[in-house]
Structure 1
Amino acid sequence: MATISLTSDWHHRDYYLGAVKGRLLSLCPGVQLVDLSHNVDNYNISQTAFILKNSFHHFPKGTIHIIGLNSEKTDEHQHIAIKYKEHYFIGADNGLFCLALKGKPDEIVMIENIKSEEEYLTFPELNIFTKAAAHIVKHNSISDLGPSLAELNRLIPIRALIQKGTVTGQIIYIDSYGNATTNISKELFESARQKRDFEILIQSNHYRISTINKNYHETAEGDFLALFNSSGLLEIAINKGHLAELLQLDINSDIRIKFHDR
């Protein structure tokens, strides 16, 4: 049984998701449909890429992942299908896949050999992506969907800045609990730390954290904490609280780590 995951910035009050699911079930009877996420902020490419990057590899090999975000076809952003690590991806080449997929895909093609329906031209997820997914389900290949592409459109991710005694990173994702994930990896942290003491500074120097937890419950309820989450990235949180709301943090808010020699 084929599996198709769906990710979009649609919300559940819209009819779009139901229409796409209905079309997929009509084109691919028996397919398993999985909602990866539909609560992405509108047009937010980096947030969608983060969700996809940290989710797709848990699905069975051969899964088809449809991305409905900034999906309008333009000269710069073609509709594409990708084969990567035995998974398939369908969406617009708007830089999202470059952020979500590490390294060069096995194959990239422009989706050109799909018959378009005039009444659904503004709805490529229904008009194009469902049919491309059905083709993959049937043929287990993307080669016949259109001409090959050499590479993906690139977006440059924001990287943490390392200076003597300090690492400055940014918040790249805020979950529904208000926990803030940064772009500071455990490897970068340990490399810069060199076994020194440290302080994680939030909102300039106003809030400080000087330990790294393994679990949330190691810190008392209502207190600040830091840990490396399942993505291997530094996460700042409040145990049983909503950090982002309390401190008015947002995507791209700075988080600094100061290291001190003993």
Structure 2
Amino acid sequence: MPIITLLTDFGNQDGYVAAMKGVILSRAPDVTLVDITHAIAPQAVLQAAYVLAQAAPFFPTGAIHVAVVDPGVGSARRPLAIQTSTAIFVGPDNGLFTDVLDSGAVTACVHLDRPRFWRDNPSSTFHGRDIFAPVAAHLAQQVSLNILGTPINDPVRLLLPKPQRQPDGTLTGAIIHVDHFGNLISNIPAAWLSVARWQVHIGPATIDGIQPSFAAAPVGALLAYRGSAGTLEVAVRNGSAAQALGAEVGQTLAAEPHSH
């Protein structure tokens, strides 16, 4: 029984997500549909790429991931499907699948340019319903990528910020995601935090030490910790670090080693 996941910036107050589900179930009634989220900020491709990269690896092999955050809908941007060794990804060619493309696991990538696999008379503003949903249903019924589109080797990639190790041992990076709790997720790998003691600098704040858990800090205090995604994170216990610091995606931070 194939699994199809959905990730969009559509919200839940309109009928857009339900329309996509209806198209899929009309063509592949036995699939299991899973919502990753529909609360991506409008047009926030970088946020969508991050959330997809965090969720997709935990699904069973063979899952089909439909991700639609698509500010270029109706333009010359291509509809895309990507096969990896464990999954298939379907959505716009706008960098949303950068982490997938950089994973080294891609086995095929196609431009979805064969309208016979879409809904008739597709809307220029709703490719989620009229292209991506029917293509996902075909994939769930074992239609191969090379039938659904033309192979390409130049999918769009986002220029993602990279963490750096400075000569003095300081680690520098950027906030790449702010989660629902206001936690600030950086791109500095937790594995780089090898020495015993660090000071984390972000905006006007300096945080002493890396805590093992939220509970290790007093209520309302800023803390730095190794997050579940495997990178350095900053939080406020029982509060929002984003609100406390006025921080957002792209803000820089640094971790400075201390010997005592």
Query: 8 Å contact 1:121–1:127 — kept in the other structure?
Result: no
Given candidates 137, 141, 147, the residue that maps to 2:144 is 141
Match of 1:255 in 2: 253
Match of 1:169 in 2: 173
State the Cα deviation string for residues 95-148 of structure 1 (Å, max 9, x = none): 111234422511101111233532523211111111111111112521200111
Query: 8 Å contact 1:67–1:89 — kept in the other structure?
Result: yes
Opposite residue 235 of structure 1, the aligned amino acid is: E
**For 1:212 and 1:85, how far apart are their aligned partners in 2?**
36
Sort the Cα spacing of 1:261 and 1:86 in 2 relative to 1 into closer, same or farther, 3 A: closer
Query: 8 Å contact 2:73–2:124 — kept in the other structure?
Result: no
Opposite residue 164 of structure 1, the aligned amino acid is: P
Query: 8 Å contact 1:52–1:100 — kept in the other structure?
Result: no
**For 1:256 and 1:107, how far apart are their aligned partners in 2?**
38
Match of 1:229 in 2: 227
**For 1:53 and 1:189, how far apart are their aligned partners in 2?**
22
Q: Secondary structure at the match of 2:192?
A: helix
State the Cα deviation string for residues 188-211 of structure 1 (Å, max 9, x = none): 333xxxx3642101214xx22222
Aligned-pair identity (%): 29
Match of 2:187 in 1: 183
Match of 1:216 in 2: 214
State the Cα deviation string for residues 60-98 of structure 1 (Å, max 9, x = none): 1111111111162543x2111111122011011111112
Query: 8 Å contact 2:85–2:105 — kept in the other structure?
Result: no
**For 1:211 and 1:189, how far apart are their aligned partners in 2?**
11
Instruction: Tell me how far 1:229 sits from its aligned partner.
Output: 1.2
Match of 2:73 in 1: 72
Match of 2:39 in 1: 39
State the Cα deviation string for residues 160-180 of structure 1 (Å, max 9, x = none): 233233222111111111111
**For 2:177 and 2:42, how far apart are their aligned partners in 1?**
14
Give the stretch that moved more between structures: 252-261 or 24-33: 252-261
Opposite residue 178 of structure 2, the aligned amino acid is: I
Match of 1:62 in 2: 62
**For 1:38 and 1:126, how far apart are their aligned partners in 2?**
14
Match of 1:111 in 2: 112
Equivalent runs, 1:4-43 vs 2, <5 Å: 4-43=4-43
Opposite residue 229 of structure 2, the aligned amino acid is: S
Q: Secondary structure at the match of 2:67?
A: strand
Opposite residue 26 of structure 1, the aligned amino acid is: S
Runs (4+) of structure 1 exceeding 4 A deviation are: none
Q: Secondary structure at the match of 1:82?
A: strand
Sort the Cα spacing of 1:64 and 1:48 in 2 relative to 1 into closer, same or farther, 3 A: same
Query: 8 Å contact 2:74–2:124 — kept in the other structure?
Result: no
Residue correspondences, number: 255
Query: 8 Å contact 1:83–1:105 — kept in the other structure?
Result: yes
Opposite residue 186 of structure 2, the aligned amino acid is: T
Sort the Cα spacing of 1:65 and 1:2 in 2 relative to 1 into closer, same or farther, 3 A: same
Opposite residue 148 of structure 1, the aligned amino acid is: P
